[in-house]
Amino acid sequence: MTTGTAATRRVWVLGCGAIAGELTKILGQIDALDVKLDHLPGILHNRPEQIPDAIESRLREHAEEFDAVILGYADCGTGGRLDTLLERWDHVTRIPGAHCYEFFAGSATFHDVNDPHTFYLTDYLARHFDLFVWRGLGLDRWPHLLDDYFRHYRRLVYLSQQPTPDLVRRALEAAERLGLEFEHIETGLDPLRRAIEESAIAGDPHVG
């Protein structure tokens, strides 16, 4: 591992491809960090069991080149395996939360709206609904599975970071295709920005 000062300290952010655009914008606004950003394929969002191994493979290749590593992931459905992995890397932290919906909305807001009958979209998932949800779940081939997958959901909440009329329309159409009530909550990027800054500080108390 390198040993940088507060001014030269190198930080590597290894994030989920599904939030790469948001990470790029946020990291460009944090002057205290000398940051390199990489990301893993967003399709891992549909294969959470593969996330820890994919991350550890990249850490083994590059983590020692940096003073600190921040994973642009929450637990993301890994069932705690991601945190078990982090125990083996003393200069690696992750964004707090159960999944990206929580760190996009902020924990307080998310816990206010969350319930087991809600399905979530972000900007990325609204843009790629067909790939990740419709085709990803095989509904294009087996439409009869729609009721099996979504019978316990009653609403779709679109948590938007940088919404456009087109994305709002896509999210609404997704709710209609799934037969769910539609709700739109604009989160912006501030909750994620704060989470990243806190993760950086957790990795080094000199960063702030």
Q: What average pLDDT score do residues 186-198 get? A: 91
Q: pLDDT of 152-169, one tens digit each?
A: 999 999 999 999 999 999
Entry field: residues in the chain:
208
For residue 46, the model assigns a pLDDT of 87
Number of C-beta neighbours around residue 14 at 10 A:
24
**Could you tell me if 194 and 163 lie in one domain?**
no
Number of domains in the chain: 2
pLDDT at 48 over 50: yes
pLDDT at 207 over 60: no
**Could you tell me if 117 and 128 lie in one domain?**
yes
How far apart CA 97 and CA 75 sit, in angstroms, is 7
The answer to whether residue 3 is domain-embedded is: no
Q: 188: left (phi > 0), else alpha (psi -120 to 50), else beta?
A: left
The answer to whether residue 2 is domain-embedded is: no
Q: What average pLDDT score do residues 105-122 get? A: 94
**Could you tell me if 169 and 118 lie in one domain?**
yes
pLDDT at 43 over 70: yes
pLDDT at 6 over 50: no
98-122: b or e for each residue (b if 16 or more CB lie within 10 Å)?
A: ebbbbbbbbeeebeeebeeebbbbb
Least confident of 28-32, 70-74, 171-175, 178-182: 28-32
Handedness of CA 34, 36, 42, 44 (dihedral sign): negative
pLDDT at 10 over 90: no
**Could you tell me if 30 and 51 lie in one domain?**
yes
What's the one-letter identity of residue 22?
E
For residue 40, the model assigns a pLDDT of 96
Antiparallel, parallel or unpaired: β 118-121 and 155-160? parallel
**Could you tell me if 91 and 193 lie in one domain?**
yes
How far apart CA 41 and CA 137 sit, in angstroms, is 17
The answer to whether residue 113 is domain-embedded is: yes
For residue 1, the model assigns a pLDDT of 53
What is Dmax (Cα atoms) for the chain? 58
Does 5 or 84 have the greater pLDDT score? Answer: 84
* Average pLDDT value for the chain: 90
How far apart CA 204 and CA 201 sit, in angstroms, is 5
120: containing domain: 107-186
The answer to whether residue 1 is domain-embedded is: no
**Could you tell me if 90 and 128 lie in one domain?**
no
Structure token digits, residue 57: 């493979």
For residue 8, the model assigns a pLDDT of 59
